[in-house]
């Protein structure tokens, strides 16, 4: 038995990634499956068509032919409703779905009786680490954020001893020591900056210090379920804000990464604090798409407040498309290992906790409770 796997070209403005790379395509072809790639789908991520052809994939020039008979469709961005119109009933779509912001796509998935798995819903368990696309892309985002901050900062990052005197290293502050934050810390350290970091989870301190950064400690333990941070109390927030504000005023570059899944990003940097920051300081807000950690952040824009720049980049992983695509494709390869059985057939039993946890829609039914509630509320 074999499965037809199709990968369309991403059409979202600014998206340069692709959901498969030649190395992964070759493995699925070697396993007896048919891999279809929309022509030029990998061009922006520097995976040319001929590389996919050498891997044994079929390059198809138009989307309708690509999706005709496709059994599993792999995407990076949530599929647009018009893409779903071409798929046959029962086809599976796998990728980031961001259902709360893409209810129209969820409706089309439901109404056309398609099955969709949202990679952002994969349980954070040990067995699913190889499938954790949120973490792989957050790694890319943390790296790119520091480069963006360094490019906007009017100072050198490393200490320099020159004939013109000694240049002191820049100070970088990273708020949030999750995957993106740790990568930001490591990148800033490699560039020679002095790095401070803060996270409400005290357990993160050991990881921060292992990277050579100073961990700002507050006697609060806000570790929540699943490794995420819980919401702070009002008193805890006041203490946190006081300490963070002091660190902000001595930083040259600030990278904020704090996110609470499914909720608005926590507000960590007030406008009044920005006004007290050093002239030339830069804030790179990785939570811009979910409301921003800084009060002044505008998604996709750079805001100048006095002598401070506040950057609200969106989709930073797309700025490093080659390796971001490679990591994402590996995540999908591991996930498809659960969707395709040893006999080369798609599974129909989604009881595995990884599949059940990430199942958004199945055969005309929305399985993800928060999305089902959102749809009901939108229809009311």
Which active-site residues does the annotation give?
A: 124, 129, 132, 135, 228
CA dist., res. 258 & res. 250, Å (int) = 20
- The region, left, alpha or beta by phi > 0 then psi within -120 to 50, assigned to residue 352 is beta
CA dist., res. 66 & res. 89, Å (int) = 16
74 and 9 Cβ atoms separated by less than 8 Å: no
- The region, left, alpha or beta by phi > 0 then psi within -120 to 50, assigned to residue 214 is beta
CA dist., res. 6 & res. 35, Å (int) = 6
Length of the chain: 380
CA dist., res. 157 & res. 253, Å (int) = 10
CA dist., res. 287 & res. 299, Å (int) = 9
145: burial class by Cβ within 10 Å (0-12, 13-18, 19+)?
buried
Q: Count, in order, helices (H) and strands (E) of the chain.
A: 13, 17
């Amino acid at each position: 038995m074999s499965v037809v796997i199709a990968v369309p070209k991403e059409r979202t403005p600014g998206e340069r990634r692709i959901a498969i790379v030649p190395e992964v395509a070759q493995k699925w072809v070697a396993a007896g499956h048919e891999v279809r790639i929309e022509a030029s789908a990998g061009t922006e991520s520097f995976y040319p068509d001929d590389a996919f052809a050498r891997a044994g994939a079929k390059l198809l020039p138009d989307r309708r032919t690509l999706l005709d008979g496709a059994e599993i469709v792999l995407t990076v961005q949530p599929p647009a409703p018009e893409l779903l119109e071409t798929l046959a009933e029962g086809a599976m779509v796998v990728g980031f779905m961001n259902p709360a912001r893409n209810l129209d796509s969820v409706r089309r998935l439901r109404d056309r009786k398609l099955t969709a798995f949202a990679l952002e819903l994969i349980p954070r368990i040990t067995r699913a680490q190889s499938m954790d696309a949120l973490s792989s892309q957050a790694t890319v985002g943390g790296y790119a954020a520091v480069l963006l901050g360094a490019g906007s900062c009017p100072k050198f990052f490393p200490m320099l001893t020159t004939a013109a005197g000694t240049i002191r290293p820049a100070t970088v502050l990273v708020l949030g020591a999750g995957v993106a934050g740790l990568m930001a810390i490591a990148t800033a350290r490699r560039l020679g900056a002095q790095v401070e970091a803060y996270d409400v989870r005290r357990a993160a301190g050991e990881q921060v210090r292992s990277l050579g950064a100073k961990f700002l400690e507050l006697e609060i333990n806000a570790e929540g379920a699943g490794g995420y941070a819980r919401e702070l109390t009002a008193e805890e927030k006041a203490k946190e804000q006081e300490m963070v504000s002091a660190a902000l005023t001595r930083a040259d570059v600030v990278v904020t990464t704090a996110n609470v899944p499914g909720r608005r990003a926590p507000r960590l940097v007030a406008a009044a604090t920005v006004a007290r920051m050093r002239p030339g300081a830069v804030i790179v807000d990785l939570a811009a798409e979910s409301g921003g950690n800084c009060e002044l952040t505008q998604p996709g824009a750079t805001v100048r407040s006095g002598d401070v720049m506040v950057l609200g980049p969106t989709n930073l992983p797309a700025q490093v498309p080659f390796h971001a695509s490679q990591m994402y494709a590996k995540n999908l390869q591991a996930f498809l290992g659960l969707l395709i059985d040893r006999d080369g057939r798609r599974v129909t039993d989604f009881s595995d906790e990884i599949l059940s946890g990430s199942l958004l829609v199945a055969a005309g039914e929305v399985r993800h409770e928060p999305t089902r509630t959102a749809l009901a509320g939108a229809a009311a």
